[in-house]
Amino acid sequence: MQPETRYAKSGDLNIAYQVVGQGAFDLVYVPGWVSNIDLVWENAKARRFLERLASFSRLILFDKRGVGMSDRVPNDRLPTLEERMDDVRAVLEAAGSENAALLGHSEGGSMALLFAATYPERTRAMVLVGVFAKRIRSDDYPWAPTLEKRLETVETVEREWATGFDLTYYAPNEDRSFTEWHENYLRRSASPGAAAALLRMNSMIDTRAILKTIQVASLVIHRTHDQDVTVEEGRWIAGEIPGGRFVELPGSEHILWAGDQDPMLAEIEEFLTGTRPMPEPDRVLSTVLFTDIVGSTERAGELGDRRWLELRDQHHARVRRQLDRFRGREIDTAGDGFFATFDGPARAVRAAWTIRDSVQELGLQLKAGLHTGECELTQDGVGGIAVHTGARVAGAADAGEVLVSSTVRDLVSGSGIQFEDRGEHELKGVGPWRLYSVVDA
């Protein structure tokens, strides 16, 4: 569910914020240019990014003054960096947070830097992503855009805001549905004049003087081909912060949750918690079972559709009872057969043996095949060569037979299950395999 939006008072303005998660420490996300804490949850990639942060922290989100759900400010009265930094303090107090880590992205990194330098006792640690120290090029900061280029950007934003400000530059590898959503997100979060005014404001930012005053543990993350803020800027900023750590990640996206999120989230979590999360497994060793009713077409013709469907339902119920009993997982039921997986080959063999005997009581003959191998975890279940091999083993079985690959036979050695060697078979698409028939399970 989308978290509740609350308001903190910062001077005369109401600053919108949300609190998500119940982690051991507080983490404040300081967003870049334009944000909206209500709309951000609409996008799957943004939601996933924030939910991952909230999985190991008590995540605090807010909209800076002038954007999103927070109070607007006159376009001719631009907020200073100090005023916007004070919004962070107001939100922390409203959320009951005495000490928090900061995650600053892009322009939000400047606010995080100023807060960390001003309130080191309230800052647990700081992570900066895609940040700049200065937004206009100079001889001693040669990576930023020129003044002319910056003014051109401001004019383009204000002129094209209503018709769709092109975000390809900020997320070149995302599909059109993502950039269309983000364009709409920006338009719903600020007016053209406000967006342009905020760009003029952040063009004046220069935090170079405070970098060496930072006393908190700091991590700077930058994507190699970020076109909006160059990787050289991130590298230089990390070098200026005492003890600052720099991590360069592949990618060209400037938008925080665009591109491959997992490497960045792993770095953030490890830095803030001391523990790097294990990646979600995409492969697992599993025993696959395929079953099929022998002569089902002929039997259906004998019984008629109604009686055959009743009999097939009884078959399915009996198979599922044994899958539950032996901890099998039903993956698919195609036609008259079952495809299931097991976390142990001996249980799988005994399940197949029991299923065969159980459906014989219904007057049905079954054949089954099993194989153990590395399976790929997919959205729909499992896949990979091990699955294809199991299906081919089942296809080689005779009526009433439970046939297994040599891998299964070797793994259940000592279990008491007895086999008969059926010799080597050429299985279509997977090569030669020695197969064994189960004679006692």
**CATH number for the domain including 319?**
3.30.70.1230
Q: Mean pLDDT over residues 399-415, rounded?
A: 91
A 10 A CB-CB count for 134 gives 19
Is pLDDT above 90 for 358? yes
Residues 123 and 150 in one domain: yes
Q: Which of 318, 302, 311, 309 is nearest to 359 (CA)?
A: 318
Residues 206 and 61 in one domain: yes
Q: Mean pLDDT over residues 184-205, rounded?
A: 89
Assigned token pair, 245: 């750590």
Domain assignment of residue 249, yes or no: yes
Is pLDDT above 70 for 1? no
Q: Give the pairing of strands 13-20 and 366-378.
A: unpaired
Of 217, 238, 273, the last residue of a domain is: 273
Q: Looking at residue 66, what DSSP letter applies?
A: T
Residue type, 372: T
A 10 A CB-CB count for 12 gives 6
Q: Of residues 268 and 335, which shows the higher confidence score?
A: 268
Phi then psi for 42, rounded to 5 degrees?
-70, -25
Cβ proximity of 263 and 119 under 8 Å = no
Q: Mean pLDDT over residues 359-382, rounded?
A: 88
Domain assignment of residue 278, yes or no: no
Residues 364 and 413 in one domain: yes
Residues 253 and 350 in one domain: no
Number of domains the chain contains: 2
Q: Mean pLDDT over residues 212-218, rounded?
A: 93
Is pLDDT above 90 for 390? yes
Residues 228 and 342 in one domain: no
Domain assignment of residue 254, yes or no: yes
Q: Mean pLDDT over residues 68-88, rounded?
A: 84
Domain assignment of residue 1, yes or no: no
Phi then psi for 192, rounded to 5 degrees?
-55, -45
| Mean pLDDT score across all residues of the chain | 91
Query: Residue 374 contacts by C-beta under 8 Å, 6 or more apart in sequence?
Result: 283, 284, 285, 286, 384, 386
Cβ proximity of 315 and 337 under 8 Å = no
Residues 322 and 259 in one domain: no
Residues 230 and 287 in one domain: no
Determine the 3-state secondary structure of 433 from DSSP. Answer: strand
Residue type, 29: Y
Distance of CA 169 to the CA centre of its chain: 23
List, for residues 281-311, the tens digit of each pLDDT value: 677 788 999 999 998 888 888 888 888 889 9
pLDDT at position 133, please?
95
277 pLDDT tier (thresholds 50, 70, 90)? low
Residues 263 and 341 in one domain: no
146 CB burial (10 A radius; 0-12, 13-18, 19+): exposed
Axis-axis angle for helices 44-56, 262-273 (nearest 10) = 20
Q: Mean pLDDT over residues 335-356, rounded?
A: 92
Q: Of residues 228 and 276, which shows the higher confidence score?
A: 228
pLDDT at position 382, please?
86
Domain assignment of residue 257, yes or no: yes
CATH number at residue 231: 3.40.50.1820
Cβ proximity of 137 and 145 under 8 Å = yes
The answer to which of 29-33, 53-57, 130-134, 206-210 has the lowest mean pLDDT is 206-210
Is pLDDT above 80 for 209? yes
Residues 312 and 167 in one domain: no
Rounded Cα–Cα distance for residues 405 and 62 (Å): 58
pLDDT at position 278, please?
59
Is pLDDT above 90 for 405? yes
Is pLDDT above 70 for 46? yes
| Domain of 48, in residue numbers | 6-273
Residues 298 and 269 in one domain: no
Domain assignment of residue 140, yes or no: yes
Assigned token pair, 140: 């001693």
Domain assignment of residue 30, yes or no: yes
Query: Residue 410 contacts by C-beta under 8 Å, 6 or more apart in sequence?
Result: none
pLDDT at position 160, please?
87
Q: Of residues 80 and 313, which shows the higher confidence score?
A: 313
Determine the 3-state secondary structure of 156 from DSSP. Answer: helix
Cβ proximity of 386 and 373 under 8 Å = yes
279 pLDDT tier (thresholds 50, 70, 90)? low
Of 252, 273, 294, the last residue of a domain is: 273
3-state helix, strand, coil in the chain (%, to 5): 40, 25, 35
Q: What percent of the chain has pLDDT over 90?
A: 69
pLDDT at position 74, please?
85
List, for residues 429-441, the tens digit of each pLDDT value: 899 999 999 999 8
Q: Mean pLDDT over residues 261-269, rounded?
A: 95
Residues 335 and 296 in one domain: yes
Rounded Cα–Cα distance for residues 185 and 331 (Å): 39
Rounded Cα–Cα distance for residues 390 and 430 (Å): 10
Rounded Cα–Cα distance for residues 201 and 300 (Å): 76
Of 228, 248, 273, the last residue of a domain is: 273
Q: Which range has highest mean pLDDT (157-166, 233-242, 267-276, 300-309)?
A: 233-242
Q: Is the dihedral of CA 357, 399, 331, 405 positive or negative?
A: positive
Residues 109 and 137 in one domain: yes
Rounded Cα–Cα distance for residues 279 and 381 (Å): 18
pLDDT at position 280, please?
61
Residue type, 138: S
Domain assignment of residue 215, yes or no: yes
